[in-house]
Amino acid sequence: MYGVSSLTKIINQHLASLWRVVKSVFLGSLLVLSGCSLVVPGYNNAPNLLMFLWINPHVDLNADQEKQTLADLKTVLEWHRQQQLPLYADWLKSMQKLAAE
């Protein structure tokens, strides 16, 4: 049979597993709930994020080139906001109607 120390060890292992599950569910819920509130700031900062994460690690730009690239990225973002997002919204509305049928 199990001794007290081995039972304590088993209980602690199960509690540790349970605690990992609770933390995972909590963090997952937190990410899902905060996801919507992060879309706008993330979208608005897309040029800076693209510059920092994708362009700078691969291309060595001087200060003037970096400034021009950032301005160009902002122009593309503004075009996307005005031209593409309304199309996406219309498409999502049509998909919502199809799903309701």
Instruction: Mark whether 28 and 52 lie in a shared domain.
Output: no
> Do residues 23 and 52 share a domain?
no
Same domain, 51 and 13: no
Regarding whether 64 and 27 lie in a shared domain, the answer is no
The count of domains in the chain is 2
What residue numbers bound the domain in which 6 lies?
1-37
pTM of the model: 0.54
Residues 98 and 65 in one domain: yes
Same domain, yes or no: 68 and 97? yes
Is residue 20 located within the same domain as residue 62? no
Digit-coded pLDDT (tens) for 1-58: 556 677 788 777 888 887 888 788 877 776 666 666 666 777 788 888 888 888 888 8
Q: Is the domain of 19 the same as that of 3?
A: yes
> Does 49 lie in the same domain as 15?
no
Residues 64 and 22 in one domain: no
pLDDT for the residue 83: 94
pLDDT of residue 35: 61
Contact criterion met (CB below 8 Å) for 46 and 77 = yes
